[in-house]
Structure 1
């Protein structure tokens, strides 16, 4: 893998705008300074109740990995070559290893893209436990604006597991696609001069339906997660930022506040707009690893996490286009399932963001990154997973 030229990516020379913030070299600074580019809403913590990590540090020399061509790689070389900004390993809730790229501080709140989906999926579990959401209910029961849309006969369960049939493609790099107009609607890019962007909710209501039955095929579409965030807000009669704050961020005693991006009408980007510090990202992962409990308090229902990590029959996953990315794996409640011997599962974001959880080894690994071009290849995806598996083994 190629190395990174840190001088070339020096954020001091980058002029960040709405037109370039997703592109290198600007993204490396922009992902840590999103509030200067996009509209955000704070996800508050409780400054009077913080829970700092203990430490049990390992020698970095212990974290030597083998590349696919059997070349030994030090952990820092791997992190630099994969455009990592922050990396942390927890073992039984204590910091084993913590690393930041030049320019990133412990206090920086980094946009984590689709890791947001997994956070929202866990929030749904809390609202289900409170009796506010029924996963077998149809989406318009909560969001009447979607009656008659492609989501009219979609169940909340289909949103959670990405088994909604839509005529919509996650074409990140096609600037003339409907996905580009989707990004316009959430306020993440400039609209064409000849059109006024829709708000996110209006765009979601106009996505065309697909031809297959819902619930039969895994299809990774971010719009489903934004609908899921809309369902949460309507079911709980509160904003998504407030719900995450009161039900997850404050109860887990986060060290810092977080944020979520919103469109020009205030609709939150539940599919990828969350940003937080590396340590709080790890704290959420540790809560998941510990069965939803942290600091003696049950935050996310243990039964929801047990349901999340159970594969079920896996037929929808096997019918999907990514089945060979994680052979025998799956996707449940907005989390990816590795289905390996350690029962690992993870959250993943487009530019190289991860929360990797290995319950049997007691390990949580988090990674914040700013790859020059977002979408990973299958090989990059599997390389990163292999790194996490190896690191988890080395520290346990």
Structure 2
């Protein structure tokens, strides 16, 4: 495969500072205390399985979704960035933001694929919280199959969570990070719950021996500091609760389930992996590792009504519509967040970010600069793997979004814009389940579960079991969204 050449850059020169590898292949001086710190990040983020326990998420034995090349050099594309105080270029942003690799796909064609330092197309890089969006898609697949009801409380599925802070929170609350659970995301505070969780799963030295010994024990120990269903507040632990939920309703460990429902269906080229604790429970909120182009393949689901590049319907078109529409209070809850998300008019839905008003642009985000960028109007998926020295850095995050916005503007509106309208009404809640669509080849037709999915503004009245097209009655006649035949 041809890629654009690796450019001389500030970031690639920094990679040369990584200490020499020891005889066991681990950088000299690197340990559990500092593996997420500079200067080790470029190496550790691409070698997690070499020093931490992981489990395989198999790609299966199906065909790889080939992405035809039509390479374009966007690096000199200029745009204005408030963080830069004026004009900058895509090249400058990629250089300054410790990029390990980035790629752009437009209308199903690979327009850019570029790597820095030792990264290459085979590199399995930690996705950090982009993992959340993958877990959200697995939840969507289970909802599509009728195995999950978003209106039910989490303890109705997981009795072990009765009596803890999560009791009374619905699956929808957790999916949109609107539970009232007490969980601090202050990465620079060693006593924040997000850092204590790393001790529990073995990603950091265990200094507090009073902490639970497992991920699930930690979840059950959490208290509540607000009402469930309130404002949006970013809490990584919500995704870990969703992972436990997926395992409970499916009866399968998450690596197997993610392979079955997601990774084996998107035409992935490489197996993914996920970090696990001592009992084999995954670090669902940030432990998935995958290659750059497989991130692009995953992102394409959002442009194709839940259909993969290989033609498999992974989730229903209704689930994708729900993600882009949000609920009737999603943007209000986002605005009321006590955190400064710097995304006015945005929202968070189904483990995905919307940085602007409207629903043309969607993001999957992870600390240290991991990103999948979706632009519906340009029919574009972009992905970026990075090794920022600090977990969070607005001066690197927002210029990256702006760079991808500039590329989307440069390629223009697509002639292949997905037919799912950009102004569809929200599908707030499903009283029983999403309509069933086939998720695996079957000798006999997949039966359709009777549909009683009621939204706040309309009723899902039908779904085509072959195409996945979802029909909603808004009171003045039905409207059909999506479907694999479109």
What TM-score bracket applies, with the shorter chain setting the length? over 0.9
Tell whether the 8 Å contact from 1:164 to 1:214 is kept in structure 2 after alignment: yes
Q: Distance in 2 between matches of 1:83 and 1:223?
A: 27
Alignment of 1:53-92 (within 5 A): 53-60=67-74, 63-68=77-82, 69=84, 72-92=87-107
Q: CA 1:48 to 1:194, structure 2 compared with 1: closer, same or farther past 3 Å? A: closer
Residue by residue, what CA displacement relative to the aligned partner does 1:115-157 show, whole Å, maximum 9, x if unpaired?
A: 0101111111110011111111110121111110101111000
TM-score by length of structure 1 reads 0.94
* Residue 384 of structure 1, CA deviation: 2.5
Q: Distance in 1 between matches of 2:99 and 2:208?
A: 35
Which residue is equivalent to 2:387?
Answer: 370
1:326 aligns with 2:366: no
Which residue is equivalent to 1:384?
Answer: 400
- Greater mean deviation of Cα atoms: 39-48 or 185-194: 185-194
Which residue is equivalent to 1:113?
Answer: 128
* Residue 205 of structure 1, CA deviation: 0.6
1:21 aligns with 2:21: no
- Greater mean deviation of Cα atoms: 317-326 or 157-166: 317-326
- Greater mean deviation of Cα atoms: 308-317 or 71-80: 71-80
Secondary structure of the corresponding residue to residue 365 of structure 1? strand
Higher relative contact order (CA 8 A, sep 6+): 1
Tell whether the 8 Å contact from 1:342 to 1:361 is kept in structure 2 after alignment: no
Which residue is equivalent to 2:14?
Answer: 6
Q: Distance in 1 between matches of 2:401 and 2:154?
A: 33
Q: Distance in 2 between matches of 1:395 and 1:58?
A: 10
Secondary structure of the corresponding residue to residue 14 of structure 2? coil
Residue by residue, what CA displacement relative to the aligned partner does 1:299-352 show, whole Å, maximum 9, x if unpaired?
A: 121110100111333221121034651111100110111334661111000110
Which residue is equivalent to 1:183?
Answer: 198
Secondary structure of the corresponding residue to residue 331 of structure 1? strand
Q: CA 1:88 to 1:130, structure 2 compared with 1: closer, same or farther past 3 Å? A: same
Alignment of 1:254-293 (within 5 A): 254-293=268-307
Q: CA 1:305 to 1:149, structure 2 compared with 1: closer, same or farther past 3 Å? A: same
Q: Distance in 2 between matches of 1:32 and 1:390?
A: 28
Residue by residue, what CA displacement relative to the aligned partner does 1:37-95 show, whole Å, maximum 9, x if unpaired?
A: 21110000134521221011113355333343565434333212101101000001111
Q: Distance in 1 between matches of 2:350 and 2:359?
A: 19
Which residue is equivalent to 1:98?
Answer: 113
Structure 2 unpaired stretches of 5+: 1-8, 22-26, 413-486
Tell whether the 8 Å contact from 1:181 to 1:197 is kept in structure 2 after alignment: no
Which residue is equivalent to 2:363?
Answer: 346
Tell whether the 8 Å contact from 1:325 to 1:382 is kept in structure 2 after alignment: no
Structure 1 unpaired stretches of 5+: none
Residue by residue, what CA displacement relative to the aligned partner does 1:179-220 show, whole Å, maximum 9, x if unpaired?
A: 32211112211111755762111011111111x321111110
- How many residues matched? 393
* Residue 240 of structure 1, CA deviation: 1.0
Which residue is equivalent to 2:242?
Answer: 228
Tell whether the 8 Å contact from 1:89 to 1:365 is kept in structure 2 after alignment: yes
Structure with more helix by fraction: 1
Q: Distance in 2 between matches of 1:39 and 1:91?
A: 36
Q: Distance in 1 between matches of 2:382 and 2:91?
A: 15
Secondary structure of the corresponding residue to residue 140 of structure 2? helix
Q: CA 1:360 to 1:264, structure 2 compared with 1: closer, same or farther past 3 Å? A: same
Tell whether the 8 Å contact from 2:124 to 2:290 is kept in structure 1 after alignment: yes
CA RMSD, aligned part only? Answer: 2.0
